[in-house]
Amino acid sequence: TATLKAGGARPARHVAAGGHGLRGTLTSEARELRSRGRRLIDLGLGDPAAHGIPAPAAVVTALSGRLEETHAYTEEAGQPAARAAVAEYFRTRRGLPGVGPRDGWLGNGVSELAFLTLQTLLDPGDEVLVPDPGYPMWPAYVGLCGGTPVPYPCPESNGWRPDLDALARRAGPRTRALIVVNPVNPTGAVWPPEVLGGLAAVARAHGLVLFADEIYDGIQYVPGPHPPLAALAPDLLCLVFGGLSKLSRVPGLRAGWVAACRPPGTARAYLDALTSLAALRLSPNTLGQHVIPAALSPSALADAAALTAPGGALHEARRAARTAMARQEGLRCAPLDGAFYAFPRLDLPPGTGADDFALRLLREKSVLAVPGPQFAAGDHALDTHLRLTTLAPPAETTAAVERVGELLAELRAG
């Protein structure tokens, strides 16, 4: 009977087929090594707080004040004060004057909102265009919501920018949405306005909803302007995602938002359905919402901007990674234009893939990095790439890149 009972607990097919996200074998092995006392350099997960980059003072203050107000559920779409702060941010800082307080939905990170917005949109068999390479959460959620992710290529030979002709060819009668993540995880690319305009044109031609994951907005090292995708598609429904996990350095608070940018009065049925679905989870966590106004205050935004200026933690980690990578043989990397990732191509000996390399890097060199195939959505194998975060203090970042170089040299020497 024990076997019978266990058999009833098998996972659903659509979940078991997954292998979702970045928390796989490598992470469990890293945990195991740590529990045995090994000191690792962790350039795996994109978590600035885990590297000791402190949250803005205004956020820390908000986290200790009026906590008795954070015990209750909030409205299903989020606390009015936090929604108003998000709308104000979009209007005054992002150049989207049409966004009002009722155009924003709050959630437990972009992650939960991605799920809610896709679940609200997709019927079984609907297709969604996803960047390749790209952040694996998006195709995973498309699949879990009954849709089919259709990768569009963003080749390294094109500076990791999308091939717009290939994208247009992949849109078809079942395509419902186009997902854009900019600045890009994992490649560190920043797509310029002309590329965003090209993406909007494809969405317009095929009647697609735009999903703009701009969680890394503000972390750009190339000259602007850096308009939000929605500014280039005022005639379309564009869902713009952001939150406090990256520049505000409080990913553990699980605070994110999505703003619906659209011509006035359009997409009502979809957005009402989104609110109904959001009501099923009752409310996002209240503590995360409570700090949103502080995190979007001028002082916190100035504090965040200082991170990417000379002397700032992100700027210095990036500089260390670039300098160290330039010195290593057998490793080539596109310029780190934005976000906090490097995605170098490794000159691996035949027979060694990026998965093997990452495992050996962890076991033999105590460095945790994510192998390229985890970001592959389609034709790209990415079996020669490795993603490294540029978040650790410069000395650690440099040491990690040097150890990548050492392992490469050892492998190539046979």
14 vs 185: CA distance, rounded Å: 25
Judged by CB, which is closer to ligand PLP: 180, or 348? Answer: 180
**Least distance (Å) between residue 36 CB and ligand PLP:** 28
What are φ and ψ of residue 279, in 5° steps?
Answer: -65, -25
Q: Helix, strand or coil for residue 48?
A: coil
**Least distance (Å) between residue 136 CB and ligand PLP:** 9
**Do the beta carbons of residue 196 and residue 232 sit within 8 Å?**
yes
153 vs 162: CA distance, rounded Å: 6
**Contact between 215 and ligand PLP (CB under 6 A)?**
yes
Please identify which residue in 79, 182, 245, 286 interacts with ligand PLP, judged by CB under 6 A. 245
Nearest to 211 by CA among 227, 192, 229: 229
Q: Which residue is nearest to ligand PLP (CB)?
A: 109
Interacting residues with ligand PLP between 119 and 148 (CB under 6 A):
135
Q: Which residues make Cβ contacts (< 8 Å) with residue 203, sequence separation at least 6?
A: 178, 209, 210, 233, 236
Please identify which residue in 41, 110, 116, 313 interacts with ligand PLP, judged by CB under 6 A. 110
**Contact between 190 and ligand PLP (CB under 6 A)?**
no
**Contact between 53 and ligand PLP (CB under 6 A)?**
no
Query: Which parts of 210-342 fold into alpha helices (H)?
Result: 268-280, 286-290, 292-295, 298-307, 313-327
Judged by CB, which is closer to ligand PLP: 188, or 394? Answer: 188
Amino acid in position 9: A
Please identify which residue in 56, 133, 256, 288 interacts with ligand PLP, judged by CB under 6 A. 256
Please identify which residue in 27, 111, 275, 352 interacts with ligand PLP, judged by CB under 6 A. 111
Torsion angle of C-alpha atoms 210, 216, 219, 223, degrees rounded to 10: -10
Judged by CB, which is closer to ligand PLP: 138, or 357? Answer: 138
How many chain residues bind ligand PLP (CB under 6 A)?
A: 13
**Contact between 185 and ligand PLP (CB under 6 A)?**
yes
Stretch that binds ligand PLP, among 84-92, 109-117, 262-270, 406-414 (CB under 6 A): 109-117
Query: Which parts of 291-352 fold into alpha helices (H)?
Result: 292-295, 298-307, 313-327
**Least distance (Å) between residue 135 CB and ligand PLP:** 4
Give the binding site for ligand PLP (CB under 6 A). 46, 109-111, 135, 181, 185, 213, 215, 243, 245, 251, 256
